[in-house]
Amino acid sequence: MKLLRYGPRGQEKPGLLDDQGAIRDLSGFIADIDGAILADGLEMLRGLDIASLPIVEAGIRLAEPVARVGKFLCIGLNYSDHAAESGMEIPTEPIIFTKATSSIIGPNDAVLLPPGSTKSDWEVELGVVIGKEARYVSKEQAMEHVAGLCVINDLSEREYQLERGGTWDKGKGCDTFGPFGPWLVTLDEVADVGNLDMWLDVNGQRMQTGNTSTLIFDVPTIVSYVSQFMSLQPGDVISTGTPPGVGLGKKPPVFLKEGDVITLGIAGLGDQRQEVSRYKG
């Protein structure tokens, strides 16, 4: 299934994408798509007659596909060539940092640069959504705790992240810096988590091209590893790292500016598009 949420901000409804690319309304069966539904409702949704569900009008806003995300976690420097372009050592264990849940927006919502930002950057990433509580799980059991996958743009303000002291979180959690979606794709629709092409363009110019086959730490390893330090709850999201081609790694560096358009996607998981503006209060 390709689960999604649609509608104006604050009035989102649950839905799914049918095989013809139309949005079908699920609000007659569930109130929303959240951790509780991911934990206990997926089998019920699989049993529905999709053709009988109401079709939603085309062109409606898509929201983030999971409501009320509890934890938004990220894995840093998880592609060796991205670590090299950032001038950092390849990690020997996964680097975990948090991204504020208040940064989450829909896949095509506007990205707003912070008022003083001069070094905001892009990062296409594979997102993993937890569907079953994971606590001290093994690598072999890890995927049993995953509800599905999604596309994430892990936007980053590099000055805040790297030049302002402390941890990376300051540069990662800015409002609108977490576009998420368009869909949550359940694992039964993903042929090979370890072989997904990914890409990102800025103003039509290809910046990032990658594949999850080159992850340093693959998805089962990440889920297992994180669960050793904190329990993962249904609806939690882990962003697994970005391939090379970020603005910080360009020579000279290239950062986002007002008027830029970011497009990105992962094979089978959908595409995103964000127009860049600046927060003006």
Q: Residue 199 pLDDT > 90, yes or no?
A: yes
Task: Give pLDDT, residue 167.
Answer: 86
- CA 149/CA 237 separation, integer angstroms: 9
Residue type (1 letter), 2: K
Task: Give pLDDT, residue 15.
Answer: 98
Q: Residue 112 pLDDT > 90, yes or no?
A: yes
- Band of pLDDT at residue 279, cut at 50, 70 and 90: very high
- Band of pLDDT at residue 28, cut at 50, 70 and 90: very high
Closest CA to 109 of 58, 68, 62, 175: 62
Average pLDDT on 30-38 reads 98
Summarize pLDDT for 54-104 with one digit per residue, the tens.
999 999 999 999 999 999 999 998 987 777 777 778 889 999 999 999 999
Place of tokens 């905001």: 120
In the 3-class helix/strand/coil scheme, how is 103-142 assigned residue by residue?
HEECCCCCEEECCCCCCEECCEEEEEEECCCECCCCCCCH
177 or 169: which leads in pLDDT: 177
- Band of pLDDT at residue 107, cut at 50, 70 and 90: very high
* Residue 156 near residue 176, CB atoms below 8 Å: no
Average pLDDT on 116-142 reads 97
Q: Residue 26 pLDDT > 90, yes or no?
A: yes
Peptide bond into 252 cis (omega under 30): yes
Summarize pLDDT for 181-191 with one digit per residue, the tens.
999 999 999 99
Task: Give pLDDT, residue 47.
Answer: 96
- CA 200/CA 128 separation, integer angstroms: 19
CB count, 10 Å around CB of 205? 8
Sheet-wide strand order for 111-113: 111-113, 270-278, 261-266, 197-202, 205-211
Q: Which residues contact 59 (CB under 8 A, 6 or more apart)?
A: none
Strand-pair partners of 50: none
Phi, psi of 143 (to 5 degrees): -70, -15
* Residue 253 near residue 122, CB atoms below 8 Å: no
Task: Give pLDDT, residue 84.
Answer: 74
C-alpha gyration radius of the chain = 18
- CA 146/CA 126 separation, integer angstroms: 13
Q: Residue 178 pLDDT > 90, yes or no?
A: yes
Residue type (1 letter), 102: S
Summarize pLDDT for 216-260 with one digit per residue, the tens.
999 999 999 999 999 999 999 999 999 999 999 999 999 999 999
For the chain, the average pLDDT equals: 96
Place of tokens 């409501």: 67
Task: Give pLDDT, residue 166.
Answer: 85
- CA 71/CA 265 separation, integer angstroms: 23
Domains of the chain: 2-62 (no CATH), 72-278 (3.90.850.10)
